[in-house]
Structure 1
């Protein structure tokens, strides 16, 4: 007589709301674990669309994002479709170019195309037999207690589905997050920065890149800046970041050229006069928003990730990387708590919120660094000092950018360590400077005995000598 063994438990149903970068990656993660996955996206399938709507700022893929792609076997494929950028290339108003390496030799970030990456991840998600992609589905309502969801299809009909977990990956203006706002003890802040962005294209010259391709080119002008990232088709996507009021001052094609001649003269022949006059007015400058919130979950039925939980401005190149790391953190907690959503979701909030708030603040700070600090001799000097100390003591002193971009050090821990290192290094530099001054005074007093009232005059001379050394 054959005895029936215990029937395996039916895998839970997960609804991923949003088919963007983080949503598509999440679909792969949940499907790989064996969950039944339904992805719901408001837009049409971008793989079939003639024109992909939405943000097109080039993405900088770094270690955190690469690790997330590696776990679903996509890292090498995406790397092959990106362009390594080993350093910032600073363009001065005179046209002089000066590189600032991102890290040690061999460390780089990758310029990748947002739309292509999104398409690749959707295609990968579609290869799992337990994952289903639903496009043109607009979320109308959902219930955090029952997991019941209602969507509206293009023909106006409604579709209802009951799920075990709702994963909100539907962007900075998340429909899922709206229900969080109705609940007590949910903190939320939204900040628009006074600067907008505008994209311009730098075409190839004689079939080749118009500038050196393995750099992130920056034209820092203190109050604003322009950057350029390389694309596989030998173009550069140039993005002008500037206060909205400055964008609005430029109203004619001639004023565009006058503005570029004043601040970005070396870019004019590379972009082209006619293209500048045309493309500057093609679309108005776009806004940038930073979103912080907490909690990231409701009970054991809903969690938000990516921009839905922590939209950040693009200046640290970590928006996508942080969203992808959300998937890794959730995956690690699923392993730790044996896929028990009642334990995983609150722990995810506890672990992830301080890190996402930290990278949101760092992204704001890095805009000032990119458009202004890179022009400072002190900033460049400190970069050299940090890198030299990192070379001497690689485990003791780690530059902030290295921790954020080339490791998975928790963001808030990286910030804490950065502040500590700054205090130690600045104190060390002060001690060295003080020692040099008094040592110089002592030697001068031995060689040229002086009265005490002459000491201040000699100290000033020594400082002048030191100042001359630092300007060499």
Structure 2
């Protein structure tokens, strides 16, 4: 990396979604940037990579808007999902709209397509370079020195930078190196549930076999199946279940029996042969949640995205939160005139506890999606929130809307939900007291 007008050299470890977006923002500020990615260039080699389609909402959209990419994703690729479509065992359907009042929606986005768009955008900045097929194996973070293994030549290469951005995912090498330092706290939790990716093909005419404007959910209490629409008329689906459930499905007949009872409509949509082929193609994958603090080391290192706060995918905020990281970093660079000694520490201060909160919310939403959505109490509360939001749009905003359709910090989203719960409880108590008083008065009058 060559110096540009004396500006610090930036090394971004990880060329995934968050790393590529970070490169765009630093490139926009004319910083010399190099992305180091252990995989091959996905634009040249057709690699599936990580599964689970993405749901893009406001936090991610604003981050894309900052580098002029929102329109390319929203209007030329993303598929709007206006709500959840719940599938019962008997084939019944129930729609739950995300935002009946303001008509906001989230967008289904293909991970690979978005990564390609971001890499192409980063490449347009003359100060941004790429190094593919290089795996970080060690680093002296205080001095900004890094050691890479070239996975093609098996040679060792040494590089240096003034600022290292760790955007290398849930199993971050940068984070592992930071673990050796005192006062760095980190915890990781594997949930006892995994997932298998499946696909719902399009109809013979190329159209969607189900509604193309919903996130489809088959809630079954302890486990669930979801499916997100793709722009080619197919759906990318995932079954999330305890590993103990997967262990019971050992043969094709076990699988067909399981789906015939739990998801009978999907057998006809997917087809028995394709279902068997896709299900047994790979072992169930794990789901991990990571919390750590601080996110920075002096003015030399910063963790962002999954490297800082990996979360389970059930609130669809992993990508959006990672993108918002970069947006917040850019806002802090403006606020503190790109003084990294202040910017990085403020990033940790502003972001770490907030990211812990969304990790917890993501865990909670799994319970909601696989179980609570089928309960009458959930639907009653959903309708009540919609009614109050309609008449008090600025003061009563449902939890889902604050997370997906605002940039309210996640801790405040939780506090707002707790305040709403207490308010409803008080109102119910007052209502009960009034009813009790009326009944008592009538009885007293009758027998007096």
TM-score of the two chains, using structure 2 as the length reference: 0.96
- Corresponding residue to 1:34 among 30, 37, 44: 30
How far, CA to CA, are the matches of 2:408 and 2:29 in structure 1? 26
Q: How far has the Cα of 1:151 moved from its partner?
A: 1.7
> Residue deviations 1:22-54, cap 9 Å, x none?
00000001110110001100010011113333x
Equivalent residue, structure 1, for 2:210 = 211
Equivalent residue, structure 2, for 1:223 = 222
Q: How far has the Cα of 1:268 moved from its partner?
A: 1.5
Q: How far has the Cα of 1:305 moved from its partner?
A: 0.3
How far, CA to CA, are the matches of 1:30 and 1:98 in structure 2? 45
Equivalent residue, structure 2, for 1:60 = 55
Q: How far has the Cα of 1:156 moved from its partner?
A: 2.4
Question: What secondary structure, in the 3-state scheme, does the structure 2 residue paired with 1:67 have?
Answer: helix
Moved over 2 A (4+): 50-53, 156-162, 429-446
Change (3 A) 1:437 1:266: farther
Equivalent residue, structure 1, for 2:234 = 235
Query: Gaps spanning 5+ residues in structure 1: where?
Result: 1-7, 452-472
| Structure 1, 232-241 or 276-285: larger mean CA deviation | 276-285
The aligned runs of 1:286-301 (5 Å cut-off) are: 286-301=285-300
Aligned length: 441
- Corresponding residue to 2:122 among 116, 121, 125: 125
How far, CA to CA, are the matches of 2:23 and 2:249 in structure 1? 44
> Residue deviations 1:273-307, cap 9 Å, x none?
22222222111111000000001011110001000
Q: How far has the Cα of 1:162 moved from its partner?
A: 2.2
> Residue deviations 1:191-244, cap 9 Å, x none?
000000011111112321111110001111110010111001101111100000
How far, CA to CA, are the matches of 2:105 and 2:238 in structure 1? 20
Equivalent residue, structure 2, for 1:5 = none
> Residue deviations 1:351-377, cap 9 Å, x none?
000110000000000000001110111
Equivalent residue, structure 2, for 1:102 = 98
Equivalent residue, structure 1, for 2:280 = 281
Question: What secondary structure, in the 3-state scheme, does the structure 2 residue paired with 1:303 have?
Answer: strand
Change (3 A) 1:444 1:213: farther
Q: How far has the Cα of 1:148 moved from its partner?
A: 1.6
How far, CA to CA, are the matches of 1:39 and 1:108 in structure 2? 33
The aligned runs of 1:17-416 (5 Å cut-off) are: 17-53=13-49, 55-79=50-74, 80-103=76-99, 104-153=101-150, 154-207=152-205, 208-416=207-415
Change (3 A) 1:137 1:268: same
Equivalent residue, structure 2, for 1:469 = none
Q: Give the root-mean-square deviation of aligned CA atoms.
A: 1.4
How far, CA to CA, are the matches of 1:252 and 1:437 in structure 2? 60
Question: What secondary structure, in the 3-state scheme, does the structure 2 residue paired with 1:182 have?
Answer: coil
Q: How far has the Cα of 1:331 moved from its partner?
A: 0.5
Equivalent residue, structure 1, for 2:423 = 424
Q: How far has the Cα of 1:386 moved from its partner?
A: 1.1
Q: How far has the Cα of 1:157 moved from its partner?
A: 2.5
Q: How far has the Cα of 1:256 moved from its partner?
A: 1.1
Q: How far has the Cα of 1:436 moved from its partner?
A: 3.4
How far, CA to CA, are the matches of 1:43 and 1:244 in structure 2? 29
How far, CA to CA, are the matches of 1:433 and 1:370 in structure 2? 31
2:169–2:307 CA contact under 8 A, matched in 1 = yes
Q: How far has the Cα of 1:432 moved from its partner?
A: 2.2
How far, CA to CA, are the matches of 2:385 and 2:429 in structure 1? 15
2:52–2:237 CA contact under 8 A, matched in 1 = no
